[in-house]
Amino acid sequence: MIHSDRSAEIPRDLMLQSRFVSALIITLLAFSVALHAAQTASCTFTTFAAPAGYTFSEVNGVSDDGTVVGQLVDNKTLQFVAFSRAAGGAFTVYSAPKSSTTWLYGSSAVGVNAGSYEDSGYPGHMHGFTLQGSQFTAVNYPKADNTWLFDVSQIGNASGSFSAGASVTKGFMLVNGKYTTIAYPNALVTNAWAVNDNGEVVGSYASGAVSNGFAWQNGKFTAINDPGKKYGTALSGVNNSGVIVGNRLSADNAFGFIYENGVFENIVYSGAKYAIAGGINNNGLISGQIYLTASNSLGYTAVCR
C-alpha cells in the first residue's frame, strides 16, 4: 500500500489506512443490508508497540494461535518490511527476495502467512506470496501484470486481487490451484481482502472516491456498508462463524467495526483518536491498530462482546 503509483497497480489513494480501498460508488449491489445505528462493542484490548527501530505501517490479520501480521517502516532506511508477531510477543521481520516493499496481510492457523511484495527494479510489478516458516512460494495470477495476495484460511483457501487492465483491478479466490475471479459488475477495483474455510470472501469494490463493502459466496454479492460511513466501507476479515470485521472510511482515517447478524458494533479504544480493524480469527480474536495521535500508533488484539 505504500509504493509509487503505476497505472497497472492499485493507486495509493485507493488503499487508505491498513489495506482499505477508498472509491466512489457508480452502481449499487443488488441486495442491500438493513442498516442500524451502530453501538459500541465491549472490548478487552491487549496492546503492543512496534519493535525497536521500527514504526507500524499496518497491523493486519491474526491467526488462530494469536500470531499477528502486518507491515513496519524501518526508521533508518524508511524501507517497508513485513512482520509477524507471535502471541508471546516475539517479532519476526521479513523482506521478500528482490523486493522494495513487502506486506503480510493474513495468517492461517497452520502457520501460513499471505502477503505481497513489489519488485525492487523498474517497473516494480506486484507479486503475491505465501510464507510458511522459511518456505516462500510466489503466487501470480495467470498473465496478470500485478498480483496481491491478502489472506489464507485454515484449510488453504486464499484470496487476493490482480490487475485486469491498465485501470481495472479484480479480486480472486484460489482453492487447490484453481482461480475464481471475483469482480463486482462495472467496478474499476474489486479487492478480496479475506476468506474463510467456507469459501466466503469479504472485501470492497469501487469506481471512484467512495468504496463499498461486500461479502461474496458461490458467485453472489451481498452489500455490507456501515451506516456511519462517509467515504465508504471496506471489510478486512471474516472467520468460519461468519463474523466480519471492517472499517468505515473517513477522509484520512478509518474506524473499525464488528458486523454480525445484521448488526454493526464500533471498535473503540478509550482515549485514542480511532482504532482500525485488521482481521479476526476463528476464536473471535480481533487484530488491528490504535492511533493515539495521527503519528503514534500501537498494535492490538481484542476480545469483544
Q: Which three cell numbers stand for residue 53?
A: 527501530
- The pLDDT-based confidence of 166 (bands split at 50, 70, 90) is confident
Q: State the residue for C-alpha cell 473471535.
A: 284
Beta bridge partners of 83: 70, 93
3 located within any domain = no
Sorting pLDDT into bands at 50, 70 and 90, what band is 298?
very high
Q: Is residue 118 part of a domain?
A: yes
Write the DSSP symbol of residue 240: T
Instruction: Identify whether 72 is part of a domain.
Output: yes
CATH number at residue 47: 2.120.10.30
> Is 5 within a domain?
no
Distance of CA 25 to the CA centre of its chain: 20
The confidence score (pLDDT) of residue 109 equals 87
Sheet holding 233-238, edge to edge: 39-40, 263-266, 254-260, 244-249, 233-238
> Over the stretch 174-214, which tens digit does the pLDDT of each residue have?
999 999 999 999 999 999 999 999 999 999 999 988 999 99
6 domain residue, yes or no: no
Give the mean pLDDT of 81-107.
Answer: 97
Cell numbers describing residue 149: 495476495
Question: Please, is 146 exposed, middle or buried when counting C-beta atoms within 10 Å of its C-beta (0-12, 13-18, 19+)?
Answer: buried
* pTM reported for the whole predicted model: 0.87
CB 42 within 8 A of CB 230: no
Phi, psi of 13, deg, nearest 5? -75, -5
For residue 122, tell me if it sits in a domain: yes
Per the structure, the complete domain to which residue 260 belongs is given by: 12-304
Q: How confident is the model at residue 33 (pLDDT cuts 50, 70, 90)?
A: very low
The reply to whether 204 falls in a domain is: yes
Quote the DSSP letter at residue 293. Answer: S
Which residues, 6 or more positions from 184, have their beta carbon under 8 angstroms from its beta carbon?
A: 27, 29, 190, 205, 212, 214, 221
CA dihedral 247, 127, 68, 258 (to 10 degrees): 20
Query: What is the pLDDT, as a whole number, of residue 302?
Result: 98
Averaged pLDDT for residues 34-41: 64
Name the nearest CA neighbour of 15 among 3, 7, 27.
Answer: 3
95-143 pLDDT tens trace: 999 999 999 999 998 999 999 999 998 889 999 999 999 999 999 999 9
How many distinct structural domains can be found in the chain? 1
Is 96 part of any domain?
A: yes
